[in-house]
């Protein structure tokens, strides 16, 4: 379970002050995929980094399975798999070596690590590049390797920032099917996306965020009923209009 209560985050530099996240609250339960949906700069990554213990909010609280993301960060980290687009894999190691390294960091036994690598490789269809150098892999292969690394310790809670960004439809499908399988196992999953089709296909509930404000938090069905539309793109435009938001990139 993930619970976020009234989190706020302001970035300040000499020139300007940006309120990236403004009193955002939501909760998500095991067996559910929650999607944070919003345009560029809306505050999605900032929110997810706060839950992932990488950023401290100015106020408010984030909790993962009852542990406080600020005060009990180590306990939280054991239980989450975090994927972000800023974390680009590169270098001379192979996916297998990297997975072994991260498994050891999580104090897993080598037999357990090896089984986990076999399972993840089969799940994510990584068999033919497990032993190739990461620097030489395609974008999709690198993304799969990054996903595998984030999951090597078999976390209960998955926090994926734009998991299908830059992937072709076949690779994107492997990733979304994988997330659905994790949902079936009763894990808690939070993703961010600005791709409506991803949210439509994958999410049980979506939180729509504009300028740091969570302006809607509903199941897809509730949103369609509320706005009298049967596709998320039209709903999204109606909400953007209501909020007075235009292209802000
Ligand atoms: N480390 C930082 N320092 C200063 N400003 C930041 C920092 N991180 C984010 N911001 C600002 O906070 C706001 C929210 O950014 P965030 O990355 O959370 O948006 P996002 O919804 O993930 O956008 P995108 O879809 O482009 O990834 C933006 O105005 C961004 O410029
Ligand atoms: Mg982002």
Q: How far is ligand 1, taken at its centre, from the CA of residue 209, in Å?
A: 12
Beta strands per DSSP E along 106-187:
157-161
- Distance from C-alpha of 21 to C-alpha of 47, rounded to nearest angstrom: 7
Q: How far is ligand 1, taken at its centre, from the CA of residue 199, in Å?
A: 20
With the most atoms of ligand 1 within 8 angstroms of its CB, the residue from 44, 213, 247 to mutate is 44
User: Which ligand has its closest atom nearest to the C-alpha of 39?
Assistant: 1
Give the strand pairing for 205-210 and 32-37: parallel
Question: What Å distances lie between residue 164 and 22, 96, 111, 154, 202, CA to CA?
Answer: 26, 22, 31, 20, 12
With the most atoms of ligand 1 within 8 angstroms of its CB, the residue from 9, 12, 42 to mutate is 42
Residue 165 confidence (pLDDT): 87
Residue 97 confidence (pLDDT): 95
- For the chain, 249 residues long, give each residue's pLDDT as a single digit of tens: 999 999 999 999 888 999 999 999 999 999 999 999 999 999 999 999 999 999 999 999 999 999 999 999 999 999 999 998 776 777 889 999 999 999 999 999 999 999 999 999 998 999 999 999 999 999 889 999 999 999 999 999 999 999 998 888 888 999 999 999 999 999 999 999 988 999 999 999 999 999 999 999 999 999 999 999 989 999 999 999 999 887 655
Residue 166 confidence (pLDDT): 82
Give the H or E element holding residue 123.
helix 110-123
- Distance from C-alpha of 35 to C-alpha of 40, rounded to nearest angstrom: 15
Residue 239's closest CA among 214, 219, 202, 204? 214
- Of all protein residues, whose CA lies closest to atom 28 belonging to ligand 1? 41
Domains, the chain, with CATH or none? 2-243 (3.40.50.300)
- DSSP 8-state symbol, 42: S
Q: How many residues does the chain have?
A: 249
Q: What is the number of alpha carbons within 13 Å of residue 15 lying toward its C-beta? A: 0
Give the strand pairing for 188-193 and 32-37: parallel
DSSP track, 3-39: EEEEEEEEEE-SS-EEEEEEEEEEEE-TTEEEEEE--
3-state secondary structure of 5: strand
- Confidence (pTM): 0.94
């Amino acid at each position: 379970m993930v619970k976020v209560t009234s989190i706020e985050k302001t970035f300040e530099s000499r020139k300007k002050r940006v309120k990236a996240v403004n009193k955002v609250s939501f909760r998500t339960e095991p067996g559910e995929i929650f999607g944070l949906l919003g345009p560029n700069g809306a505050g999605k990554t900032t929110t997810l980094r706060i839950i992932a213990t990488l950023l401290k909010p100015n106020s408010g609280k984030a909790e993962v399975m009852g542990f406080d993301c600020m005060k009990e960060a180590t306990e939280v980290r054991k239980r989450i798999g975090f994927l972000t687009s800023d974390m680009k894999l590169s270098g001379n190691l192979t996916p297998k070596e990297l997975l072994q390294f991260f498994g050891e960091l999580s104090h897993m036994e080598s037999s357990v690590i090896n089984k986990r690598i076999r399972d993840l490789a089969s799940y994510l269809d990584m068999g033919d590049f497990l032993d190739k150098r990461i620097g030489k892999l395609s974008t999709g292969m690198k993304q799969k390797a990054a996903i595998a690394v984030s999951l090597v310790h078999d976390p209960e809670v998955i926090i994926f920032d734009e998991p299908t960004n830059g992937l072709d439809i076949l690779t994107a499908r492997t990733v979304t099917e994988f997330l659905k399988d994790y949902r079936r196992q009763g894990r808690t999953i939070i993703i961010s996306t600005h791709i409506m089709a991803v949210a439509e296909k994958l999410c049980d509930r979506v939180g729509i965020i504009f300028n740091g404000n969570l302006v809607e938090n509903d199941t897809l069905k509730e949103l369609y009923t509320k706005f009298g539309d049967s596709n998320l793109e039209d709903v999204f435009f109606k909400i953007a209009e209501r909020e007075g938001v235009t292209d802000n990139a």
